Homo-oligomer: A and B are copies of this chain.
Amino acid sequence: MISENQIHEELTALFNHLEFTATPAGLYDPLRYMIALGGKRVRPMLCLTTYSLYKDRLGKEVLQPAAGLEVFHNFTLIHDDIMDASAMRRGQTTVWSKWGENTAILSGDVMCIDSFKRIAKAPAECLDEVLQLFNTTAAQVCEGQQLDMEYEELPEVPMSKYMAMIGLKTGVLIACAAKMGALIAGAPEDDCDNLYDYGYSLGLAFQVADDYLDAYGNEETFGKPIGGDIINNKKSWLTTRALEKADELLHEQIMAVSEMPVDIPSQQRDKVARMKELYEKLHIDEDAKYEIIRLTDEALEAAHRACTGLRYEVLKRFADKLVGRTR
């Protein structure tokens, strides 16, 4: 088994030296910029972690596919930021607002292609399975983004649809990362499938935690202003659950809050405060915490079907680190 420290070091080295073609600079500079912005590198980290359960040494055959997962994730962020008209990401200007929409479209495209290049470096003996997994996942992520945009147009979305949407948008890529590491390590098929389920539930927990932190997090550790989802009327687990749980009167009150003006900071603060009052009246904050624990437990059950002992502990620690912020 490879130690968690070792994985950390390899991953840092990998992203410090990630190479992209040099020219034309106008096309590749945004890729370097985006990767340098950092982020938690959740997907490659998870891929290397599940690989480490079966192997004693990290080789190129897993490092490049792991990097491919992160490159793909960053490609989706570049295009999502155009579609959502988001000017800031991780405290920095987004690619489209720095270089314009056309460059952001094209640099995103070449980043998507670059991710396929890296995934294709998986070893020959599992290449077909790895590609099938990744190709299916990549399409699902786009389907999730499409549903997300469609749901933005609706006043209300049932919880089952919301969960299916975040499953596509966030769950499947984290699930794919968990399974891919195991596939490349040559793990038994059952393990691969159970690790997929572990990643999927963990991805859902991660997204619900992100929704929770958007309203209840600490601005400094969360990395963006608190209340953004409420201010922009974004569909989130909190608002979905609130609308599902509210009686007629509260339902009307939530809808009224969503129409409050947000032109100046004080109005934004009022809107966030008012919505959080309604959430708390309905105990949505507690429901969210409970849901994160439930989903994490679901993930750990799947992990336990794949492995026990020290190897299980590695997966448990990974889960705690990823969603532990809310506990």
Q: Which of B21, B26, B131, B142 is close to A120, meaning CB atoms less than 8 Å apart?
A: B131
Q: Which of B23, B24, B102, B149 is close to A83, meaning CB atoms less than 8 Å apart?
A: B102
Q: Which of B82, B106, B143 contacts A27 (CB 8 A)?
A: B143
Stretch with Cβ within 8 A of B (4 or more), from A110-118, A193-201, A309-317: A110-118
Task: Give CA–CA (A244, B231) in the complex, Å.
Answer: 57
Interface residues of A in 253-284 (CB under 8 A from B): none
1/0 per residue, CB under 8 A from B, across A97-132: the answer is 000001101101110111011001000100110011
Q: How far is the CB of A239 from chain B (nearest CB, A)?
A: 21
Chain B residues positioned under 8 Å from A114 (CB to CB): 139
Given A127-B128, A139-B21, answer yes or no on A27-B109 (Cβ-Cβ < 8 Å). Answer: no
Chain B residues contacting A56 (CB-CB under 8 Å) are none
Cα separation A113 to B108 with both chains bound (whole Å): 13
CB nearest to A85 among chain B residues: B102
Q: Complex Cα distance A62/B138, Å? A: 23
Contact mask for chain A residues 129-152; partner B; CB cutoff 8 A; 1 contact, 0 none: 001100110110011011101100
CB distance from A86 to the nearest CB of B (A): 13
How many residues of chain A are within 8 Å of chain B by beta carbon?
37
- Chain B CB within 8 A of A79 CB: yes
Interface 0/1 of A14-56, CB less than 8 Å to B: 0000000101101100000000000000000000000000000
A109, B24: Cβ atoms closer than 8 Å: no
Q: Give chain B nearest CB distance to A118 CB in angstroms.
A: 9
Q: Are A106 and B142 neighbours in the complex by a CB distance under 8 Å?
A: yes
- Contact, CB under 8 Å: A112 / B109: yes
The smallest beta-carbon distance between A148 and chain B, in angstroms, is 10
Contact of A24 among B82, B102, B136, B146 (CB under 8 A): B146
Tell me whether A26 and B83 are in contact in the complex, defined as CB-CB below 8 angstroms, given that A21-B139, A113-B138, A120-B131 are known contacts: no
A150 touches B26 (CB 8 A): yes
Question: Closest 4 A-B residue pairs measured CB to CB?
Answer: A27-B146, A110-B142, A117-B135, A83-B102
| Other contacts beyond A79-B105, A106-B149, A110-B143: 19, CB < 8 A | A24-B147, A26-B150, A27-B142, A27-B143, A27-B146, A79-B106, A79-B109, A82-B105, A83-B105, A105-B105, A109-B109, A110-B142, A112-B113, A113-B135, A113-B138, A113-B142, A114-B139, A120-B128, A120-B132
